[in-house]
Structures are given as C-alpha cells and as structure tokens.
Amino acid sequence: MPDCKTTMTILGMSGAGKTCYLLGMYYELSAGMRGYTITTNDDDDVHLKDLYNNLNDEKGPNRFPAGTDSSVSYQFQLRCNYKTLMDFNWVDYPGGYLDRKTQGNLDDYRRVERSILESSCLFVCIDGNLLCGKNTEKKIRDIRHKCGSIMNSFFASYMDKHGELPPTAFIITKYDKCCNDTDEEEISEIIEEAFNAFFHKPDKGHSIVAIIPVSIGMNIDEEEEDVLDPLNIQLPIFMGIYFALGDRIAVAVEDKERIKKEKKEKIEKEIEKLQEIINQENDMWWFLRDNDRRDRAAAKKNQLTTQNLSSTEISQLTDFIANKSKYLDKLRKEVRQINLVFVDGEKREDLTKIENRKG
C-alpha cells in the first residue's frame, strides 16, 4: 500500500527563521485548526512546546531559541479529525550546513543533502529582512547572493536525480518586518527574478510554485511586544501534504489498474487454454472424445468468463483511494487560501486546479 512517510525540507540560511517557523507551525497545529492537528512522540512534543512557550513568555530578543548547532529529525503526523492523514519527516538544521561541503560535520551535511533530495515538497525560507526598503533591485540582488548562490546547487542536484523539481513554497519569514515595504506584486517579481528556473515549463510534469508570507507575530523582537499572533503558518504544511497525498492516491490508482489488467490477462490466457481443450475434444472422433474433459473445461471457462476481477489487494486499494480522496477534498479548501501561486511560470488563482501534476 502506498501509505508511507514523506519528507519535507525547508532550505534557509542562518537566521532566516527556520526553527521559529517550525515552532510556530507545530504549536498552532498541535492545538488544532479546523479539525487538523499535528502530533509527534512525547519527548519531541515536550521539547518543541518548551521552546515555543519561551517564545510566548519572554519579551524582546531573549525569547528566540539559540541557533541550531546540529541537525535534528522530527517525525510528525498530520491528522484530520484525529485520524492520521499522513506521516512526514522534518529535518531542522543549522543554516550554515548548506555551505559546508568540505568542512565541518560532513555526516550532518550529507544527512541534510539526502533529506533535500528525498523531499516530496521543498520549502525555501526567505528572510523578510531582505525585503525591507524600497529598492527592488537591491532586494533581488540580496536574495540572489544570500540565498540563491547557496541553494541553487541543491536544486540542480534534485533536478539531476528526479528530472523535475517538486512543488515548492517560497516562505517569506518575518513578514511583519517587511509588510509595509512591499506588496504581492513586488514579492512575485523578486522571487521570480531571484529563482527564475522555477518559473518555466519543465520537460516533464509541471513547475508548481507558491509564495507564502508567514509571521509568528508583529514586531515580537521588541521589548514592549508580547503577543504571538501567527500568520499563514499552517499553509506550507497543508500545501506539502496536499501534493504528497495526491501523489499517493495517483500511485494507488495506477497500482489498482495494473493489478486488474494483470489479473484480466491471466484469466484470458486460462480461457484460451480451456477453449483449446474444448476444440481438441470436439475435433475428436465421437468414440475417442472425452466428454467429461470437454465439459469440465467448458464449465471452468464459463466460471472464468463471469469471474469478478476484484481481490483483497484491489479492495484495499479501492478503500485507500476513497478514504484519502475524502481527505484530499477537505485539504483542498485550505490550500486555496494561498494567494500567490504559479504553474509553469503563469500566475494562477488556485493551486489545486492542476488536472495532472505529472503530465
């Protein structure tokens, strides 16, 4: 059954807000949102909530967690009405790892690299501080040099391995810092210029891009601010699960059709052999004919002709497709809240109206 873990990886340099995004996402969804919850093991649950509570209880710069000094892998379950919708892996790592191919902890670097290459969805973390000010060209240049120059090699490696890029969300973290200095039109222009390769029709499949501004609260690094008020924090995860779930359903449909085809071909071959037996007996002289053998072959042929193609495996796949499709329809409503979406470089109103993501 195509019901296994998926991997989602967030790429971002040091200080871009990857860990704070993770904490905000986990805290919001662990509390529940329109029937969706996120869970993990007890130790990680306590650890993540302690870090978030520090964010919530402290004021000013002291509220933020110390920079991650080693990679940590979390195993999450996104649930809908408390039923597991999908398991997924999440790797949190120091931003500096992306630039450590020949120095530092190479094992951790390779672990992060492997996580990226195995991801069904990528999240590219863009520090909102890079979008402050009114100089659009400077913003494009800063993002190219501080993000693209490091991340592009990973995108190229992913393309080399898979022949296509996965659905990708460019997450504008700390959006509270730049929200007064930019708008959707400029953000779209900046991301398209800085990561232009994502905005073209690929040789196979589709290029699927979302740009999602997120924040865990307005100006929360200031001493007088003490309220965490997350913005759009759930949307990247919903997007990643939506496409990963759609892929699982597509695999299940293909498996079901393949099994049915194989079973049908097997039955047709058996019927053909039985018909040969019937013909052989009919061609015999009456005193040499084995009527019992002919009648048994005819009865077996009739049985196979009317045989249902269903099987336990097909029934399981049918149930899986129906169950997951129900949740996919529900999740589609959440994904439609993403405003800035592009398919093959063209802006779309709805990320979910892709008839065939692989075609």
* Residue ranges of domains in the chain: 6-249, 251-333
Residue 91's pLDDT is 80
Spans of the chain, pLDDT less than 50: 102
Q: Is the dihedral of CA 250, 252, 255, 256 positive or negative?
A: negative
What DSSP string runs through 59-73? -GGGGSPPPP-S-EE
Residue 218's pLDDT is 76
Pairing relationship of beta strands 168-173 and 121-127 according to DSSP bridges: parallel
Q: Residue 248: in which H helix or E strand, if any?
A: helix 235-283
Enter the DSSP assignment of 215.
B
Q: Which CATH superfamily is domain 6-249 in?
A: P-loop containing nucleotide triphosphate hydrolases (3.40.50.300)
Residue 140's pLDDT is 95
Q: From residue 22, how far is each of 130, 163, 348 by CA, in Å?
A: 20, 29, 27
Angle of CA points 201, 207, 211, to nearest 5°: 130
Which of 185, 175, 193 has its CA nearest to residue 132? 175
Angle of CA points 176, 181, 186, to nearest 5°: 110
Q: Write out the two tokens for 327.
A: 């949740």
Q: Write out the two tokens for 290.
A: 């084995």
User: Which residues lie closer than 8 Å to 122 by C-beta, 6 or more apart?
Assistant: 8, 9, 10, 11, 116, 158, 165, 166, 167, 168, 169
pLDDT digits (tens, 9 = 90+) for 33-69: 999 999 999 999 999 988 888 777 666 566 666 666 6
Residue 40's pLDDT is 95
The gap from C-alpha 344 to its chain's centroid, in whole angstroms, comes to 18
Residue 102's pLDDT is 47
pLDDT digits (tens, 9 = 90+) for 225-238: 556 788 899 999 99
Residue 127's pLDDT is 94
- CA 85 to CA 77: how far, in whole Å? 7
Residue 16's pLDDT is 85
Q: Please report where in the chains the tokens 């870090």 appear, as a residue.
A: 51
Q: Write out the two tokens for 177.
A: 């810092």
What DSSP string runs through 6-57? EEEEEE--TTSSHHHHHHHHHHHHHS-BTTEEEE--HHHHHHHHHHHHHHHH
